[in-house]
Amino acid sequence: MGNTDTSLGIGIVEPAGAHNPGKRARIVERPLDFNHHWPGCVSGYVGRNNMEINRGLKLSFRIIGGLILLSALAPLGIGIWTYTNTKSFLEDAESTTGEVVELVERRGSEGGSVFAPRVHFQDHTGESYEVTSSSASSPPRYHVGEEIEILYNPERPQEFRTTDWFSLWGGPVLGFGLAGSAVLFAAIFAFLGPVILQGIISAFRKPEPTGQQGAVGNEGHHGAD
């Protein structure tokens, strides 16, 4: 059997003109240079697919980033509530000196024990109270017999707070801090996440072997001989 011509050709419409004066337009078949046309076709196809993948990747990261942003609403609400509550308390609070009479042991949120001071004090009318603080810590910040300065609500003396910074502003700082961290993480995840992921994929992607396209083209020419 003779050699089979496996080369490809393309049809080109040659209009009437200098090459065929006075004749009608005709279709001229010309061989397709595989080495010349194939890389462009492949790169165009891969480029379009990469654009679609990049678009989908960015959309996915931004949707997840939006969900993370929504999760910031809870700590933000806690921060706002505790801040307004503390501010309102300080506007009407009166100060006095109390004595720690007991350390009340409680179970901590992460296990273990925390200790809240039980304080004996007198209000501005001279009436005595013994109230356990809502703020607890481990190790305890105070010891039994220690005199400390406290702030109390004159209308409801059972509502009191110690004057240490964390007892007053720990709640707002924690709430706003968690909300701010969530917003920052959401922004980084939504806008930088796709770039970082693509960089990691590119770093681990194996490079295409060189000379592969030339080998394909040479096989086509050998088949044509």
What CATH number corresponds to the domain at position 137?
2.40.50
124 & 107 share domain = yes
Q: Structure pTM? A: 0.57
67 & 103 share domain = no
* Contact present, 141 and 127 (Cβ < 8 Å): no
pLDDT value, residue 31: 54
Per-residue model confidence as pLDDT tens digits over 180-189: 999 999 988 8
Query: Has residue 162 been placed in a domain?
Result: no
Per-residue model confidence as pLDDT tens digits over 103-151: 999 887 777 889 999 999 999 889 999 999 888 888 888 999 999 999 9
Phi, psi torsion values for 178, nearest 5 degrees:
-65, -40
* pLDDT < 70 regions, the chain: 1-53, 205-225
85 & 44 share domain = yes
- Overall number of domains in the chain: 2
Query: Has residue 14 been placed in a domain?
Result: no
148 & 39 share domain = no
Torsion of CA 109, 111, 113, 115, to 10 degrees: -10
Spatial separation of the C-alpha atoms in residues 103 and 141, rounded to whole Å: 10
80 & 49 share domain = yes
pLDDT value, residue 151: 93
What is the domain range of residue 136?
94-152
Query: Has residue 40 been placed in a domain?
Result: yes
